[in-house]
Amino acid sequence: MTSRSETFIRQHIEDPQGTVREVMVNLGESPLAWLHARGRLSERHYRAGEQLRQDWEKAGLGARVTMRWDASPTGGSRRGGASRAPDPSAAQLSARERFDGAIGAAGPGLADILWRVACAGEGLIAAERSLGWPSRAGKLVLTLALDRVATWYRLV
């Protein structure tokens, strides 16, 4: 059985000269890791994007695909009261504050592609298309956003 990190697909990419090539893409590799491994993102930018993704995940901002077992009723419904969802942990609140601060540091217009690529795992070409941007504009905007985020996280 092949694990997710070993699953490859064929994908067509266009280089800056307009030449379309077929490449093998590892589905277990994030778009940021792919760009970094090929020298298209600096170590600082890569670390900033990974830190943003980690904060997004720790804050629990992604879509849930399973039931929340920790949100069971506390007996409030038997007594006529409404049941409450558990309070988020301090680590989760802290991660949410860091995420919001980093996205705010990226600024409007830059945060869109940053979130799509770093957090949602969308490829750069797909993010450009969904935002209605021209080819190759996404990498420039992404690196500007990652630079601001790296400064916000105080990465050297």
Q: Is residue 143 part of a domain?
A: yes
- Residues 132-146 pLDDT 10s: 999 889 999 999 999
Tell me what percent of the chain is helix, strand and coil, each rounded to the nearest 5. 50, 10, 40
- Residues 67-113 pLDDT 10s: 666 655 555 544 544 545 556 788 899 999 999 999 999 999 999 99
Q: Is residue 56 part of a domain?
A: yes
| CB-neighbour burial class of residue 41 (10 A; exposed 0-12, middle 13-18, buried 19+) | buried
Segments forming the whole domain that contains residue 122: 29-62+91-156
Q: Is residue 8 part of a domain?
A: no
Q: Is residue 78 part of a domain?
A: no
What token pair was written down for 113?
Answer: 């592609």
Domains held by the chain: number: 1
d(CA 94, CA 105): 16
- DSSP letter at 89 equals P
Question: What local confidence, expressed as pLDDT, does residue 124 receive?
Answer: 92
Q: Is residue 84 part of a domain?
A: no
Q: Is residue 74 part of a domain?
A: no
Strands 8-14 vs 20-26: parallel, antiparallel or unpaired: antiparallel
Q: Is residue 40 part of a domain?
A: yes
Amino acid identity at 3 = S
Q: Is residue 55 part of a domain?
A: yes
Which pTM does this prediction carry?
A: 0.71
What integer best gives the mean pLDDT of the chain? 82
